[in-house]
Amino acid sequence: MTAELRFIDAIHAGLQASLAADDAVVVIGEDVTYGGPFGATKGLADEFGRHRVRDTPISEATVMGMVTGAALTGLRPVVEVMFVDFITLAMDQLVNHAAKLHFMSGGQLRVPLTVRVQGGVRGRFGAHHSQSLESWFTHTPGLKVVAPAFPGDAKPLLAAAIANDNPVVYLEHRGLYWDKGPLHDDPVDGAVVRRPGTDVTVVSYSKMVHSALAAADRLADSGVEAEVIDLRWLAPLDTATVLESVAKTGRAVVAHEAVARGGLGAELAATIQREVFTELVAPVERVGAAFAPVAAAAALEDAFLPGVDEIERAAGSLMAFGPPPP
């Protein structure tokens, strides 16, 4: 029987394996020698030495500039930004330098940099520690973005990010950290169908995949078979898997925890309606958070956060449009 690990332990295992496999891999960030805020790097400094697992001052801009330079000189830095909200302080180095140097050098420079960022809504952390900012990164040419939903994917996706010669933003939802699942080392290219279905396609990523699967269970009770797609990679985006599914079902719901306005769901909805318009029997539905800061108050955080109910309603509403054309 395959052993199960928590999501956070799968990340630790991915870091450990990459450090052991390649001396060029270094782990850098605030308090990483002690494990960081959630324990992902705990023990790595003792195992690999503090020359490869390094603490930094509390200056995200400085740290991002340092790891960009380190990547340019042949290292493969993995930098931890404690909360994705704090990456605002490092966006100049990440977006204007790390993401563009390969292009601006005519392909002469490589920036094999992995940026681990933790985000999402969990635990009443409030507006400064609960955002989902993936659309910022997917809007930036030169950045790759990955968002695992299960412990089994967390390790190989992290290994793939570290081995990549481009800057990769690796998104971790803290609401997944204590979820358990079996690990594997299988390739994790593109999207994956988590649940097959024939009536409606639900596309999601990160923690919202779990809500999509729960919604699909409810829909099945009423005779609606939802196909659930876990994107995994947000940039590059595997639109082929999404479009193949939507062409089959004729209906699509795109769901994410980020605010709906300007989110990745809007890009997917536009792509679906452009590429498989003639196969659609209903408009593409989007499920996302309210356009507001995340409140710390329990009732307000719950009201802000979309989930199973919203996905079920969105998918159910599409069934009123009738069957797909023959």
Catalytic residues: 60, 129
Query: Could you tell me where the beta strands, DSSP code E, fall in the chain?
Result: 4-6, 25-29, 53-55, 76-81, 114-119, 144-146, 168-173, 180-182, 192-195, 200-204, 226-230, 233-235, 252-259, 285-289
Chain-centroid distance, C-alpha 96:
21
**DSSP-assigned states of every residue in 10-55:** HHHHHHHHHHHH-TTEEEEETTGGGTTTTTTTTTHHHHH-TTTEEE
Dihedral in degrees, nearest 10, Cα atoms 146, 269, 196, 288: 70
Asked if residue 46 lies in contact with residue 190, where contact means CB atoms within 8 angstroms, the answer is no
Written as one letter, the residue type at 312 is E
Phi, psi for residue 42 in degrees, rounded to 5: -60, 130
